Amino acid sequence: MSRTAVDFQLEVLDVLALPALLGLDEDRAAGRVCVWCGEPLTIETAVDLGEQKADAGTCFPRACRKCVADRAHRGLFAHTPTCDLCETEATAANCTVGRSLYRLVRDNRR
């Protein structure tokens, strides 16, 4: 089974900027290669991005750990200044998007 760092919420996937599912080639849509960089994936190296519905059908995109960590890191920097919950350390723990992005960075940057 592929690694899943968090249960991906729609808001987290939006921040990660998943590519348009309609234009994905077969290997990316099936999760055989990283949805962003195209690196071949194994059960040990893949992060499952969850089942995604597209007009053309269902996709099962996965990504390499490096791409997930990089996108989550960039997303965290973009998300934090605009989030009322992430504004202070006392309320940051209440933001599920910020917390999920942080976990993705921590769990996949190795």
Q: Is the pLDDT of residue 27 over 70?
A: yes
pLDDT in tens, 42-96: 999 999 998 888 776 888 999 999 999 999 999 999 998 888 888 777 677 788 8
Q: Tell me which residue of 105, 60, 101 sits closest to 82, measured CA to CA.
A: 101
- Per-residue model confidence (pLDDT) at position 8: 64
What Å distances lie between residue 72 and 44, 82, 103, CA to CA?
A: 20, 16, 9
More confident call, 9 vs 14: 14
Q: Are 39 and 65 in contact (CB under 8 A)?
A: no
**DSSP 8-class letter at 58:** E
- Per-residue model confidence (pLDDT) at position 63: 96
